[in-house]
Amino acid sequence: MIDIVAGGSASDSAADALIVGSGPDRSYDTIGVWVAEQLGDWLDAYLDDADFGGKPGQIAVVPGGETPYRTIVFAGLGDAPDAEMVRQAAGSSGRAVRRAVTAATSLHLVPTPGAAQAAVEGFLLGQYRFDRHLSDPKPARTESLTLIGADDAATAAAHRGRIAASAVAMARDLVNESAVNKAPAEMARIAGQMADRVGLRIKVWEEDEIRDGGLGGLWGVSLGAATPPRLVELWHEPEGAEAFLAIVGKGIVFDSGGLSLKPADGMETMKTDMAGAAAVFGAMQAIAELKLPVRVLGITPLTENMPGGAATRPGDVLEARNGKTIEVLNTDAEGRLVLADGLSLAVEYQPDLVVDMATLTGACKVALGDKIAGLFGTVDGADQVQAAAEAAGERVWPLPLPADYRKKIDSDVADMKNTGPRYGGAINAALLLKEFVGDVPWAHLDIAGPARASETEHYLLKGGTGFGVRTMVALAASLGEA
Ligand code: BES
Ligand code: MN
Ligand code: ZN
């Protein structure tokens, strides 16, 4: 794993690559000013030729000449950059220098709260690749990142950034992995390895426990699959912790739609339908490594949604863990069925707040596009998650839970049905989830859009993004402070 080093000054550090930020009209920090001076007059003309003006998203790579750096990367920050702009600039730069063995930067000096953590997160996430199935992988060669002139606070923040970035990378790896390699039992095994390494307690519910324990939603969805379901509980229980957070992640390792089969193109990305569960695993890993002073429970119901001969049929009624019944009219609305059990179980432990993350509805992508998650919940629950997402640089937007829409999921034969009208599909799904959280403050993130990036940009690589990990870590941190 890469070393994060606090370095002295730009002139007495040395590295293969130096990354410096640039504001509009190529205004630099002190390190950038020094480097530009060393490089000489040609630099401005060169950057003019490249049309580099320091706008967000722009980078310019120039040779380091006589400086102690072989390559200099100027990364655009725009004016008044916030931490997310630093993260993005660091991400683009990290992608540009993946083959540099040593790197140095001054991006952590951008005068905005969270800059040091964001610089490290962006750099590391930009260097991420999912290459385990390539015959000729080209892994990032970077072994160290020096933060020039970093003080103790910046160094500590950088350390947190590294922990966050590896948690996000872990979630991305799981999301990007083929479904054939991540059956529920395999997911549970991976969670167990991680738990042992970072010191989390783990409890895995096997298929007979799921059936006998009344987890009828998870059980019902699993019936069409050839591999058995699991439910993983991960527990972070530091001594003396007062606040108690539960996070639940949808873990459909492949969503074929079940008997309400999806069309072929709708299945292409459905190995990523466990991104909520992956975000729970990643967040739990980081929360343990950061030793956050808050009790946290992570729950992931894990199953495949397949149309086997024993599959749940449209018209079947399932009974969830809390005793409520759901008529399944569309087996492709399976996420809410497994979350019904995950949430029921979570609230049995009486947390102060329960948050679920799920690639739940295409309708949420229609509403908000593919970069913003839908945020639902009780007022107190949703507010806390919104604040955490803002702090973490993840984009969420609140959507309503109108009480008069509840009747749209009334069933003729059960307490509710698992589909509603096409319009407001993300809301209909969230209203069903609400039936399973009791009186516990709750928030629901529909991450169907941002769990996956359709294009590579800044610190995101095409594919799994690890969305939700950083927000959950920020949320746990804020609860620990209170
Ligand atoms: N996993 C899908 C939602 C999804 C769709 C996530 C596209 C990411 C990209 C979910 O299980 C699903 O199939 N939802 C249905 C619900 C409908 C049948 C009520 C949907 O959104 O079409
Ligand atoms: Mn589905
Ligand atoms: Zn699904």
* 414 and 473 belong to one structural domain: yes
52 inside domain: yes
Q: 95 and 201 in one domain?
A: no
How far is residue 148's CA from residue 14's CA, in Å, rounded to a whole number? 10
60 domain-assigned = yes
Q: Are residues 119 and 231 in the same domain?
A: no
Check if the beta carbon of residue 92 is closer than 8 Å to that of residue 461. no
| 140 and 249 share one domain | no
Burial letters for 422-443: b for 16+ Cβ neighbours within 10 Å, e otherwise?
eebbbbbbbbbbbbbbeebbbb
For the chain, the first-to-last Cα distance in angstroms comes to 33
Tell me phi and psi for residue 19, to 5 degrees: -110, 120
Bridge partners of 71?
17, 63
Structural domain contains residue 155: no
The reply to whether 140 and 180 lie within a common domain is no
Q: Is 420 in the pocket of ligand 1 (CB under 6 A)?
A: no
What's the pTM? 0.98
- The pLDDT score that the predictor gives to residue 176 is 99
Q: Which residue, 118, 123, 131, 91, is CA-closest to 104?
A: 123
Query: Pick from 83, 116, 150: which residue ends a domain?
Result: 150
The whole domain housing 223 covers 168-481
CA distance 305 to 324: 21
Residues 130 and 233 in one domain: no
DSSP character string of 61-104: EEE-TTSSEEEEEEEE--SS--HHHHHHHHHHHHHHTTT-SEEE
pLDDT computed for residue 137 by the predictor: 96
Instruction: Specify if 156 maps to a domain.
Output: no
Residue 331 beta carbon below 6 angstroms from any ligand 1 atom: no
Q: Say if ligand 1 is within 6 A of residue 341 CB.
A: no
CB atoms within 10 A of CB 12: 9
Closest atom of ligand 1 to 420 CA is: 19
Do 76 and 210 belong together in one domain? no
Cα of 82 vs centre of ligand 3, distance in Å, is 34
Last residue of a domain, one of 106, 121, 150: 150
Q: What is the pLDDT along the chain (482 residues), one digit of tens a residue?
A: 789 999 888 888 899 999 999 999 889 999 999 999 999 999 999 999 999 999 999 999 999 999 999 999 999 999 999 999 999 999 999 999 999 999 999 999 999 999 999 999 999 999 999 999 999 999 999 999 999 999 999 999 999 999 999 999 999 999 999 999 999 999 999 999 999 999 999 999 999 999 999 999 999 999 999 999 999 999 999 999 999 999 999 999 999 999 999 999 999 999 999 999 999 999 999 999 999 999 999 999 999 999 999 999 999 999 999 999 999 999 999 999 999 999 999 999 999 999 999 999 999 999 999 999 999 999 999 999 999 999 999 999 999 999 999 999 999 999 999 999 999 999 999 999 999 999 999 999 999 999 999 999 999 999 999 999 999 999 999 999 97
Neighbours of ion ligand 2 (CB under 5 A): 255, 332, 334
Ligand at shortest distance from the CA of 363? 1
Question: Mind telling me the catalytic residues?
Answer: 262, 336
- Do 299 and 432 reside in the same domain of the chain? yes
Surrounding residues of ion ligand 3, Cβ less than 5 A: 252, 255, 273, 335
Q: Is the CB of 155 under 6 A from ligand 1?
A: no
Pocket of ligand 1 contains residue 359 by CB under 6 Å? yes
**Distance separating alpha carbons of residues 348 and 320, to the nearest angstrom:** 13
Residues counted in the chain: 482
Confirm or reject: Cβ of 448 under 6 Å from ligand 1.
Answer: yes
**Domain termination residue (choose one: 118, 150, 182):** 150
Assigned domain for 158 exists = no
Does residue 161 lie in a domain region?
no
Q: Is residue 411 part of a domain?
A: yes
Phi first, then psi, for residue 297 (nearest 5°) are -115, 125
Count of domains forming the chain = 2
The burial of 81, by beta-carbon neighbours within 10 Å (0-12 exposed, 13-18 middle, 19 or more buried), is given as buried
The closest residue, in CA terms, to atom 14 on ligand 1 is 361
Both 84 and 188 in one domain: the answer is no
Q: How far is the CA of 459 from the centre of ligand 2 (A)?
A: 28
- 14 within a domain of the structure (yes/no): yes
Structure tokens at 273: 């339908």
Helix residue ranges, H only, 177-274: 184-198, 207-212, 216-222, 264-267
Shared-domain flag, residues 383 and 338:
yes
Verify that 332 and 229 share a domain, yes or no: yes
Pocket test for ligand 1, best of 332, 336, 366 (most atoms within 8 A of CB): 332
Q: What CATH number should be reported for the domain holding residue 134?
A: 3.40.220.10
Both 343 and 467 in one domain: the answer is yes
- Residue 443: which CATH number? 3.40.630.10
